Amino acid sequence: MVQAFVLIQCNDLCVEQVIVDLKKVESVKEIQGLLGMYDVVIKVQAKDTVEMDKMISTQIRTIEKLRSTVTLIVSEE
């Protein structure tokens, strides 16, 4: 199992809607709002890095009002 943290920047005043949309993604295990350079951090889980890449590309980055992401894959637990 592969885990990652994804740092998310949203369009202005759209954080709540992005969080609502993220809650619909099954692979998202945790969601936290942030203050600072990024607006939201999520913890995601997939069976391997190929599935992780596909999930982030098709289910996370396609969310409307999401401006950018940075993915940090966990090396060890």
The pTM of this model reads: 0.93
Taking the alpha carbons at both ends of the chain, their separation in whole angstroms is 11
Average pLDDT of 24-42?
A: 96
The three-state secondary structure class of 19 is helix
Please give the structure tokens belonging to residue 18: 């992005």
The three-state secondary structure class of 20 is helix
Domain locations along the chain: 2-73
pLDDT tens digit sequence for 38-52: 999 999 999 999 999
Average pLDDT, the chain: 95
Q: Is the pLDDT of residue 15 over 70?
A: yes
Average pLDDT of 16-42?
A: 96
DSSP string over 28-49: EEEEEE-SSS-SEEEEEEESSH
CATH of 2-73, one of 3.40.640.10, 3.30.450.20, 3.30.70.920, 3.30.565.10: 3.30.70.920
